[in-house]
Structure 1
C-alpha cells in the first residue's frame, strides 16, 4: 500500500509531528510506502519528494507589509501552491490513500478537493480543536473558552483570541466561516480519527458533523523508553511553561505540601518561568528546581529517576505524549481531571486524577504518593504493562489499517 502522508512540517516541532513520523516508520516496517507532503523548513528530514513541498512562511516574525499580509491571508484561506504541488505529487506517485495530520495555515484545506480528484479516500487524524475553534485550542486569555460553540466564530474577534491581534483573530474567524460554508472538510474527509473520546465528543457537541468519526489512541515506540522502578526523592513536570498548564496552581500546591523533603523538578521553557521563580522566592520554596529545556536521553533519565510525574493542566489537553512517555518509563502520573487525560490514567492504579485549578487537592495527591512511595514501583509496573498492552505500534497499526481497508474495499 502507498500512503500519501501529509503534515504541516516534515521536521520535529511538537508532539503531533512525532505521531506523524512514528506512523510513517510503522508503515515502512510493515512493507508499505509513504509519500510525504509538507511545508519546507530548515529542520526537515531528507526526502526524495522535498521538491514538492510548499514554500515556507513565518506567520509571527515581525511587522509585515500589506502585500505580505494579503499573501498570508490567501494562503490560510485557500493555498493555490499547495493545491498545485500536491496534484503534481499525486500524479507522479499515485498513492492508494491519503492520511492527513495538521494541514491548516501552512498547507490549507485547498489540498482536500485536489486529493479527492484522484479518487482516493482521505483519513484525517485530529491533534487539536481547529475544526471547532478558530485558534485551535479552546482557550482564550489563559482560560478554557467555549464561546465559539455552535459556529459562533465571531467570538474570536471580540475576544482577540489570536495573540491579542484584531487582524489575526479576524482572519481566523473568516477562515472558519468560509470553510464551514464550503463544508470542505466534511465533503472530502472520509474518516476523522481522534486520539481521545473527549476530543471526539467535544467536536460533536460543538456541531461538527463528519461522515465518520473513530477514536484511536496515540502510541509510542516503547523500545526508546526503558522503565525504572527505583527513584530519587523528586517528581517532575516537563513541557511548555505556559499558564494553561496549571503551573501557578502547582506552585501554590508546593507551598502547601506536608512532604518538605520532596523536590519538584520543572523541565521546559516558556514565558511563565520568571513568574514561577518569583513566586518561589517570595514563598521561600527551595524545593522547586528549574532545569530549563531538556530533551533526548537527558530528559528520559530525569524522568526515569523520578518518583512520579505531574500534569496539572487547566485546559482541554487532548492526548499528551508526556503522559504516555511517563507511563512507559514506569512512572505514575498525577493528571488533571480535564480533557483526554482521565482516559489515560487508571486512578489509584497507575496514577492519580486531581482537580484542575485546585492547589489543595493537588498538594494532597502529591503528599499521598510520597507518603505511600513504597507503592510506586507497583503502580509503575501497572503503568508499563498497560503501555505494552494498549499503546504499542502494533496495536495502532492494527486499528488504523482496519480503517484503511474499510475505505479501500
Structure 2
C-alpha cells in the first residue's frame, strides 16, 4: 500500500484522535520509557504452588474423533510473523496432523476494498496460508482502543459476527491466543456452551501497553486491579482501567484452561489474577534447529528478531562498539520501524564489523544460528518465552540475554550463556568479554519439546475442556 493511501486508510479506520494518541504514545512516551539511562529495578514474582498437571502423566495421546477448532489471534501471516504467530501456525498444523479441523480468525487493517465479504459492520476475507484456513476481518470504523487498550465484552457487531461464524463452521472449541479483542466473541461461546482455552504470550491481558513497563520506565509488578494503571499515563483508547481489569479477570476465570509458554508468565498471571490457575505448555522448537558443528572460539555475534526500542538493540550496538578487536563481527537480522532502524545504522556507521541484513526467512534462519557463535538478546522488557533464545541454544550457540522474564529459564550461567541486568551497559560489556574467553569444550547442550509434543499436549487440553463443558451442560439440562 502506498504511503498516502496507507495514512488515509488508518485515518478512516481509527479516526483522528486515536491516531494522534498512538503517535504521541509511540514516538514520545515510548522513547522515554525505554531510554538507556534509566535505573530499572526488576521485581520478583512469588514462586507459585504448582497445581497437579495431568499433562505430565500422559505418555501418549489417542484422538477419539475430529473436532473443529477456531484459533483467535490479533495478527497472523502473511501480515505479521512474530513469535505468537509462529506458535499458532505450528499448533494449528499439528492439530491438522492429528485429524482435527482448524480455522484461524485474525484482525486485519487493509483497505475496505481488500475484503470481499461483509456481515453487519464487519468486513472479512477467507484464504489459506500454508494449508490452513484463515479468516481475516476488520471493522468499517474500529471501536476506540479495540486492538490493545479496551476489552469490549458486549460489542454488538462482533456478537452477531461470532454467532454467524461459530454456526457456519460448526466450531466445537475456541482457543484464544490473544483474547482481549475477542472478549465479545468468547462471550458468545459461553452462551452457546462452546468451551474456550486462553493462552497468554504477552501481558496485554494485564497491561494495555502489553509490556509491564510504566510511563517512568520502571517495571510494574502489579496493577492493583487496575488502580495503578490509572496512574500510568492512561491513553485515549482506555477509558476505565479498573473495568478493564475485571473484564480480563472474568475472561480468564471462565476459560476451561489458561495456558502460558513459561513458568515466569504463569507466576505473573497467578500473582495478578489469584483465582486463575495456569498450565505451562512450552512452545515447541522444530528439530531442524540443531548443532551441526562445535565451536572453538567466539568471534561471530548476532542479533535476530524485531528491531524496536524495547528489544534493546541500540544497547547492544553501543556496547559491541567498545570491543576492540577487528576479528569480531555483529550481524543484525530483523525488520522494524524505519526511524529506529535508521537510528541504529547511524550509531553503527563507523564500525565496519556491524552489518544489517534485514528480515530473514524461516528457511534461512537455521543457517543464521549455525553460522553464529553467540546470539545476544538485550531486551528491556519481560520476554514471555523468546523463540530466538531457544532456537539459538538448540543450534549450539552461546546466548547472552537480559536477566528478566522467561529468558533465564533455559540458561545455565557460564555453561551455555550469560545473563545481565536489562539496560546495564557495563554488565553487558562484561558478558561479551566473558563470551570471548568461553571454553567451548565445556559447552552444555540444550534440548526442547518439539511442535509434535506441544500439539499433543494441547490436544489433551482440548479433550479435557470438551469433556468438562459437556458435563457442565448436562448438569444444567438436568436441573
Counterpart among 78, 81, 84 of residue 16 in structure 1:
84
Q: Is the 8 A contact 1:123 1:189 kept in 2?
A: yes
Aligned equivalents of 2:103 and 2:322: distance in 1? 53
Aligned equivalents of 1:190 and 1:142: distance in 2? 37
- Comparing 237-246 with 258-267, which one deviates more in the overlay? 258-267
**2:435 equivalent in structure 1:** 369
Question: Does 1:301 find its partner at 2:367?
Answer: yes
Matches of residues 166-205 of structure 1 in structure 2 within 5 Å?
Answer: 169-174=235-240, 177-178=243-244, 180=246, 183-205=249-271
- Label 1:110 to 1:121 Cα distance change in 2 as closer, same or farther (>3 A): same
Q: Is the 8 A contact 1:309 1:334 kept in 2?
A: yes
Structure 1 unmatched runs, 5+: 58-67, 161-168
C-alpha RMSD of the superposition: 3.2
- Label 1:242 to 1:5 Cα distance change in 2 as closer, same or farther (>3 A): closer
Counterpart among 46, 62, 85 of residue 128 in structure 2:
46
1:176 to partner: Cα distance: 5.9
**1:98 equivalent in structure 2:** 174
1:309 to partner: Cα distance: 0.6
- Label 1:348 to 1:395 Cα distance change in 2 as closer, same or farther (>3 A): farther
**Cα distance per residue 1:58-108 (max 9 Å; x no partner):** xxxxxxxxxx47x44578534333322222222233333221111433xx3
Aligned equivalents of 2:207 and 2:269: distance in 1? 10
Aligned equivalents of 1:302 and 1:182: distance in 2? 39
Aligned equivalents of 1:178 and 1:369: distance in 2? 45
**1:408 equivalent in structure 2:** 466
1:53 to partner: Cα distance: 4.9
Question: Does 1:318 find its partner at 2:421?
Answer: no
TM-score normalised to the size of structure 2? 0.69
Counterpart among 165, 169, 172 of residue 89 in structure 1:
165
**1:80 equivalent in structure 2:** 156
**Cα distance per residue 1:94-129 (max 9 Å; x no partner):** 333221111433xx3001111112213211010111
Q: Is the 8 A contact 2:377 2:400 kept in 1?
A: yes
Aligned equivalents of 1:49 and 1:399: distance in 2? 20
**1:250 equivalent in structure 2:** 316
**1:123 equivalent in structure 2:** 197
1:370 to partner: Cα distance: 2.3
Q: Is the 8 A contact 2:374 2:397 kept in 1?
A: yes
1:354 to partner: Cα distance: 2.3
**Structure with higher helix content:** 1
**2:7 equivalent in structure 1:** none
Count of residue correspondences: 376
**1:163 equivalent in structure 2:** none
Counterpart among 55, 60, 74 of residue 138 in structure 2:
55
Matches of residues 102-113 of structure 1 in structure 2 within 5 Å?
Answer: 102-105=178-181, 108-113=182-187
Matches of residues 394-405 of structure 1 in structure 2 within 5 Å?
Answer: 394-405=452-463
Q: Is the 8 A contact 2:227 2:241 kept in 1?
A: no
Structure 2 unmatched runs, 5+: 1-65, 111-124, 468-479
Question: Does 1:227 find its partner at 2:291?
Answer: yes
Aligned equivalents of 1:219 and 1:38: distance in 2? 22
